[in-house]
Structure 1
């Protein structure tokens, strides 16, 4: 069943709604506040019916009524009113503010609290911020809008690329550092469409997250989707069209300059043979890039009565990427139904589903590089410009003339297949019963399932490797499912001058994962793509990490106490006891407590009458959380099947893979947080400040062959071996600068600073890893060292260019940079001789850069003028460094290069330079020469919108119509020389055993990622 058929069926199911009318006459009216200002969006409903409407932009409404009907007027922040109709034809209603509701309500784990009563570090993101500009994943809208939250695409602007979220930095090495996503109470859900989200809260400290125990170590994102409201049927249609292009390209040599460059290299290498220049002048970046496009359409219906409320939506998203042959298509739906069965019993169901198809091209960071060996983006920068797409015999060209025999990027982009299909479904049911006054019981039951298929094929039309393999095909399937059951009691009671809230409950969650993998070479024909796998003449045996079935369970009991004394003094205490099957028998259970205090200083007698300070609250918290995010069975001994050839036959054998680790246990994070919340001038200006300290103990890491711990076969085992610390400071400032009838201007500012340090490793020894692709002939590119931040770049310290004569003190050159007599060659690169022995070798490698930013920030301004509105959003990062692997590749002599390098390279006539001569001997060495400042300021979004007036719309039966245009990633200010400073290459080392080492340790490596895109959007929003 294709996506269009699924869309038709979903529309039929979702929108099979009947409308009913009743006799009477038409009543018109207006609704204003106490200052006689019209209020749009007031719900107007005839009591005990489903008939109703909402006020328009000017506070007006019309409704068919009968004498005796009771109209109910309601809106958040106002006292609900009821008016009996006695034949009047017009009505004017004045709404009165409800002081008890003006305090924003925020969702916390297993409940909700008034914002003024929250004692933990919680950030809220408004619904309009999530939809301020078009995004595929609502997570993208968090960047720069929530303090302490770092958001990055795992592959730049690739269609359908997953999003990485980190809250308050890395808290682990091998376990996940991603936060827990909870959607409508379902723990571990995927992020819904931005247009379906009503509110989003980010829980950041242990006081807020400890209620989720072992799953809350990395923070929690709580998402509440839209629900129906009592009143008339509302139909919302939102549509966005977007055009995309590359935000930047490298300035590469043309064919003539490339030939000169190659001849200069040959001269430096004493090669008298001239470069055989081709007859083409091809811009390979032009060959692989195109204008991309996005279309996103959402249709939603909502409404209901006082007894039953509903919301349902379907969204269709399609994208053609800026790289040829990359595309994405997704169809999704969401449905919420809530029913008040009796005065005490309320039930509901939440259904979510999506189906997506993704056609991809190989880029270095999307995991496809194993099928063909090279990626399209770096190939386009690397490939010789004097080559055409085809050779004289009609076959695709290769780069053989410069000794780098790879297929041309256009061939790789258009001939290789890499397709992914995902189907996902989630259902969550709940029942809530008021047992006694103040005592409520709620139970939920949910299931989810996700099926993923990926097919990859490298045809024989590609010369390199594929021509000898006669087609290589891979087909892989993953299936994951989850069952969640939770029940809890909530008790609220006023005790003297205080309010007590008690919570206690039980949670059970079971997850299963399955994977199958098939790979073969020698298919019967390229026409069948990866489906030709079944005709392959030779099958490749999968590894243990490619074929598996596993299951894990977490069961928990939890409790929380909230106490508010005299609306001044606040107490929150939480405890959760978790049991996780992932760990060793004697370490499956752990207890995670937390406590927090709050003081509403502004409610004290000495401040409560202040005309300047409207809110002042001090918060302090302490708590412990755990991290169980490793694959199952890591504490158990395991074996692996290996295959060998004997007498022409394939023989299977079993070998030990890892020994048992009976001591494997939880990572534990101990967190403290101190915060201050300010409000000035009746909260016209608000400011939140937070300082935190997080100690993570018993880090789970891969055993690096320390035989004194677990034995010689344990190189793949996970063990608890270290600790790290995160400290940071966060600022969130809001200001309503101007507010009057015709013009408003508001500002938001977010600032986040996180400092991460490794505090303990095995025996205090450094821990090395490799974040480079196989193209680079190095073993280690980053280091973990006690007292340093995670992921420090590791390599040689570049010291400039050797000019001749004696070597400068403390420097030397690599052996290949010396002539046959052993003398250094002028123009070759110098490196600092860290181990002062006069030679450059492995002992001279050192820390050469830090990918972690000093701080990040976001700055938003919102304007309205009559029916117009505008949003401008800047976002930036300061102090992070980038290792430019692309520059390493483009400086090696067997590929194209940039004009910047070629024009500034050392020559006997150009010695005043920091760039070594072309064709130098250290072209693939990891050194500080290629470490650059990655700081940037980016105009992330600029949007202008117009709301048509109600006078125009009421004549055509439309309640609201908004038109807007916007641009994303319009301008970037940076000194970084690469394509984009928001690099997202996470390295080749994903690790075994389901670990997350690559994403946690290889930040800041730039090599062939899908480029970030610049976008221009037009949006239409309709409400009927």
Structure 2
């Protein structure tokens, strides 16, 4: 009894002592990425039920005892455990967990998680984007995703980029359907023909700073839900919308840039040009006394500025984000692109979050002042010994000759050339997402969107100074593009415990209409005035069912039925199924102690289509009326005062029939995909190996027709097949993840191969079509479409070389052995598309510093150096009527007297490795503001053996190419 009383007395003494030892700690939880407070973070004392959550400002207070462990956790972030040692305040910085497998990714008409995805789906988020003064959204993901190749078109202001997913499934170019992917912005598919008239980039209306992420759907099992437009892949763009329960935030971003061309065409200098005087045909009397680098004269430093002001706020049931932005970018060849916009996103939740309404609207006004790139060709050809201005202060010109180059500075003078386009565009989308009260697993989703654009343009060009009695050119244009969408679907998602299966079923309907109206009026010696209307519609039914059995076995099947007004009733509807399976091997019992944190095998098959045939109604017989006096028939003369007036002829309007194929139908692509996803060390090291095989049949192609068989020499019809195959590897690693230092990296490698397996209607293996127009003659082509070869294959004579390895002019291999060199000796040789391309990105952080850089590389691709083949000879200088032009410097190596346009000497290997982007930043957190300063350089250097302007040419033909720029960007970002 005494012992019990002593123990009771001890406890009564210790209880208040324990309570007195418990203290209150307070602090703030912030996001490592932007130093912004995180609301709703769970903070619990480990092993107890004591806990709290942060408020809207990220603040918390908690009673805790000495030595206890505080656990700080938040969805999507790496949890932290902190031992309490008497601190009065506790400020915690959380970092996004790169090893999360439950990250949500969009798929067509729905979403899934990374671990449940069975198709080839890749997400590139805001934190992974390329940095710098980026105007074209495509540039954000260059080098970031396996199987995705982004090629910028050049250095012009506002220039976009060509996106190719797995190389494209069609022929492309002038003789085939488009290879561009379908792009969907916040649920609205953009018109694949370009989005709006008068712009160089369909995505220029989207502000890169407003993009949350890109999701790339690469294989047919993932893209089949988009049916007739998905053969070349699908890109889903999601814009930023703010977050619920987030504090009021104001952000201001400023990016100031300077840009210069990274390289110029190698031509003869003034001293090298004068050295040609030893040639008896060279007219020394035409030489001037100057030493003018014409390319240096036309290119200048372009200045750019990007402003972004963003306000956002999140409540429990409502959040919004509004961005005001202005971008201006000068091209080094003169020219200017300006874009002003307001982007708004509003999300409201009703009925205990069962009803969610989302409105996004992107309103922009962009103005392009296009520089006349004719100045580039003139700068390459103009005599380097002539001054810019003559003794009268006028631009120095050659004697009158319509074939002579014009002083390149003449093109850049606003008094002589002015080309402006203004585009006002609105992309607005309204989404309703409703969870039924009587069945919480059933949702109804409705999406209504419109992409509306109006354009006005004016172009003036003074009379050409090389033409006697020249006539000035004046053009005005206007038009509108309207793309409207209404789709809805029902989604049922539930867990059936009795069979241990999660099911996700979707079914819906979509209708989309495209309307283009354009007006064009030209005043010159061949006046034209015309109005065109272009309209087509697409109606679709779609469904998908996905099953996750025992969190191990995945099955997904989709189906879409598309009807297009572009085809006749017999071919109007197309069916596009897709199916994929997955096995989460790492979830099997036998893998419980494995060193894999993720291991999934998946495979898929699907059918997709192509309907971008360049015309709306290729199956109809269309008659084009004659306009003005063109193609009219003179019927007689008018009477004036009872007399025939010969000055007033009477014309009758004619109707000109166009060629058509009434049986034209969908281009159809079958694709197979097999892949392995893997992860180690809690998925901090993870990657994917994807292999695919794709076959496209009934190619939409423009082919020559037999004489008398149709109304045109070239006709769009279905002909031929193309197959492609490839292997893609990606590896992501969080190499270090400490409080003061972090390092993560990504490398992706893509191998690809494409081949035409059939091209003619009668299966003639020797049939071919020449393509790839070049300069140096009228109607010359350097590429070939032919069975057994890549669609970008070159078509050349095989050059003969002497014992010293120098090319022998005009000497080619007699391939067929008939002792003469004829067209029959031209052979398919090399190609413009790469065998492989890579992207390599590294991100470092040390305390408040961050550094990231991206390399891109391409291997196995070739470029035809048309600048050298057309002008790298003495004839290009002296064999001109009444003037002498400059030559390409390759003449100094070859000594060629004449053009050798079709020699394989000019097919040059164009492998390259490019440091595409490097950025250094420093973040300064203040009490009520965060400042981040950054310095970024783009296109820093290129390692290549290619002798020409740039090894990365989209069609593989270098001629009059606008050089890419090297940009230096200073960025300042303020967050309040």
With the length of structure 2 as denominator, give the TM-score of the two structures.
0.84
Question: Match for residue 180 of structure 2?
Answer: 178
State the Cα distance separating 1:505 from its structure 2 match: 0.4
Question: Match for residue 19 of structure 1?
Answer: none
User: Which structure 2 residues correspond to residues 222-237 of structure 1 after superposition, within 5 A?
Assistant: 222-229=236-243, 230-237=245-252
Q: 2:232 aligns with which of 218, 226, 229?
A: 218
State the Cα distance separating 1:586 from its structure 2 match: 0.7
Q: Which consecutive residues of structure 2, in runs of 5 or more, have no partner in the other structure? A: 1-23, 43-53, 63-71, 81-86, 192-201, 635-645, 878-884
Q: 1:441 aligns with which of 435, 444, 462?
A: 444
Is 1:971 paired with 2:941? yes
Q: What secondary structure does 2:465 align onto? A: coil
Separation in 2 of the partners of 1:852 and 1:37?
A: 38
Separation in 2 of the partners of 1:39 and 1:454?
A: 45
Separation in 2 of the partners of 1:79 and 1:739?
A: 10
Separation in 2 of the partners of 1:90 and 1:254?
A: 70
Is 1:196 paired with 2:210? yes
State the Cα distance separating 1:706 from its structure 2 match: 2.7
Q: Is the 8 A contact 2:800 2:808 kept in 1?
A: no
User: Which structure 2 residues correspond to residues 91-102 of structure 1 after superposition, within 5 A?
Assistant: none
State the Cα distance separating 1:704 from its structure 2 match: 0.6
Separation in 1 of the partners of 2:516 and 2:73?
A: 47
Question: Match for residue 719 of structure 2?
Answer: 721
Separation in 2 of the partners of 1:224 and 1:98?
A: 21
Separation in 2 of the partners of 1:93 and 1:396?
A: 67
Question: Match for residue 20 of structure 2?
Answer: none
Is 1:901 paired with 2:886? no
State the Cα distance separating 1:393 from its structure 2 match: 4.9
Separation in 1 of the partners of 2:802 and 2:895?
A: 6
Q: What secondary structure does 2:699 align onto? A: strand
Out of 353-362 and 411-420, give the one that drifted further.
411-420
Separation in 2 of the partners of 1:402 and 1:583?
A: 49
Q: 2:918 aligns with which of 930, 936, 942?
A: 942
Separation in 2 of the partners of 1:937 and 1:885?
A: 22
Question: Match for residue 345 of structure 1?
Answer: 355
Question: Match for residue 845 of structure 1?
Answer: 826
Q: What secondary structure does 1:922 align onto? A: coil
Question: Match for residue 329 of structure 1?
Answer: 338
Q: 1:43 aligns with which of 28, 39, 44?
A: 39
Q: Quickly say closer, same or farther: Cα 1:752–1:463, change in 2 above 3 A.
A: same
Separation in 2 of the partners of 1:759 and 1:41?
A: 58
Separation in 1 of the partners of 2:650 and 2:798?
A: 48
Is 1:569 paired with 2:546? no
Question: Match for residue 921 of structure 1?
Answer: 898
Q: 2:511 aligns with which of 508, 524, 529?
A: 508
Separation in 2 of the partners of 1:457 and 1:62?
A: 69
Separation in 2 of the partners of 1:273 and 1:578?
A: 67
Q: Quickly say closer, same or farther: Cα 1:697–1:29, change in 2 above 3 A.
A: same
Separation in 2 of the partners of 1:421 and 1:927?
A: 44
Q: 2:835 aligns with which of 854, 860, 870?
A: 854
Is 1:884 paired with 2:884? no
State the Cα distance separating 1:777 from its structure 2 match: 3.2
Question: Match for residue 382 of structure 2?
Answer: 383
State the Cα distance separating 1:292 from its structure 2 match: 1.1
Q: 1:608 aligns with which of 592, 610, 632?
A: 592
Separation in 2 of the partners of 1:840 and 1:858?
A: 44
State the Cα distance separating 1:900 from its structure 2 match: 4.8
Q: Is the 8 A contact 2:382 2:886 kept in 1?
A: no
Separation in 2 of the partners of 1:350 and 1:876?
A: 37
Separation in 2 of the partners of 1:899 and 1:437?
A: 72
Q: Quickly say closer, same or farther: Cα 1:792–1:99, change in 2 above 3 A.
A: closer
Q: Quickly say closer, same or farther: Cα 1:922–1:40, change in 2 above 3 A.
A: closer
Q: Which consecutive residues of structure 1, in runs of 5 or more, have no partner in the other structure? A: 1-25, 64-72, 82-87, 364-374, 522-537, 812-825, 905-914, 985-1002
Q: Is the 8 A contact 1:45 1:53 kept in 2?
A: no
Q: 2:960 aligns with which of 1008, 1017, 1020?
A: 1008
Q: What secondary structure does 2:589 align onto? A: coil
Is 1:780 paired with 2:781? yes
State the Cα distance separating 1:114 from its structure 2 match: 1.0
Q: Deviations over 1:673-717 (max 9, x none)?
A: 000001011112111010001111100111312358xx2313343
Q: Quickly say closer, same or farther: Cα 1:91–1:794, change in 2 above 3 A.
A: closer
State the Cα distance separating 1:139 from its structure 2 match: 0.8
Q: Quickly say closer, same or farther: Cα 1:902–1:604, change in 2 above 3 A.
A: same
User: Which structure 2 residues correspond to residues 50-129 of structure 1 after superposition, within 5 A?
Assistant: 53-55=56-58, 75-77=74-76, 103-129=102-128
State the Cα distance separating 1:207 from its structure 2 match: 1.1
Separation in 2 of the partners of 1:660 and 1:431?
A: 42
Q: What secondary structure does 1:843 align onto? A: helix
Separation in 2 of the partners of 1:161 and 1:39?
A: 34
Q: Which has the larger radius of gyration?
A: 2
Q: Quickly say closer, same or farther: Cα 1:404–1:658, change in 2 above 3 A.
A: closer
Out of 665-674 and 695-704, give the one that drifted further.
695-704
Separation in 1 of the partners of 2:903 and 2:109?
A: 51
State the Cα distance separating 1:1017 from its structure 2 match: 1.0
State the Cα distance separating 1:258 from its structure 2 match: 0.8
Q: Deviations over 1:872-899 (max 9, x none)?
A: 2111111100011111233143346578
User: Which structure 2 residues correspond to residues 280-679 of structure 1 after superposition, within 5 A?
Assistant: 280-323=290-333, 325-343=334-352, 344-363=354-373, 375-400=374-399, 405-414=404-413, 415-435=416-436, 436-460=439-463, 462-465=464-467, 468-495=469-496, 496-521=499-524, 538=525, 540-541=527-528, 547-610=531-594, 612-630=595-613, 631-642=615-626, 643-644=630-631, 649=649, 651=651, 653-679=653-679
Separation in 2 of the partners of 1:92 and 1:783?
A: 65
Out of 568-577 and 760-769, give the one that drifted further.
760-769
Q: Deviations over 1:79-125 (max 9, x none)?
A: 999xxxxxx99788999999997621111111111100000001111
Q: Deviations over 1:145-174 (max 9, x none)?
A: 1111111223x0111123221111131122
Q: Quickly say closer, same or farther: Cα 1:655–1:717, change in 2 above 3 A.
A: farther
Superposition CA RMSD, Å: 3.3
Q: What secondary structure does 1:280 align onto? A: coil
Out of 411-420 and 749-758, give the one that drifted further.
411-420
Q: Quickly say closer, same or farther: Cα 1:475–1:837, change in 2 above 3 A.
A: farther
Q: Is the 8 A contact 1:644 1:651 kept in 2?
A: no
Q: What secondary structure does 1:214 align onto? A: helix
Q: Quickly say closer, same or farther: Cα 1:481–1:39, change in 2 above 3 A.
A: closer
Separation in 2 of the partners of 1:971 and 1:750?
A: 20
State the Cα distance separating 1:639 from its structure 2 match: 2.2
Q: Deviations over 1:731-782 (max 9, x none)?
A: 1101112222221111110111111111111132433234335653343321
Q: Is the 8 A contact 1:802 1:828 kept in 2?
A: no
Q: What secondary structure does 2:405 align onto? A: coil
User: Which structure 2 residues correspond to residues 219-298 of structure 1 after superposition, within 5 A?
Assistant: 219-229=233-243, 230-261=245-276, 263-264=277-278, 266-267=279-280, 271=281, 274-298=284-308
Separation in 2 of the partners of 1:95 and 1:306?
A: 22
- Any runs of at least 4 consecutive aligned residues in structure 1 with deviations exceeding 6 A, and if so which? 36-40, 60-63, 78-81, 88-101
Separation in 2 of the partners of 1:758 and 1:897?
A: 40
Out of 182-191 and 136-145, give the one that drifted further.
182-191
Separation in 1 of the partners of 2:864 and 2:316?
A: 59
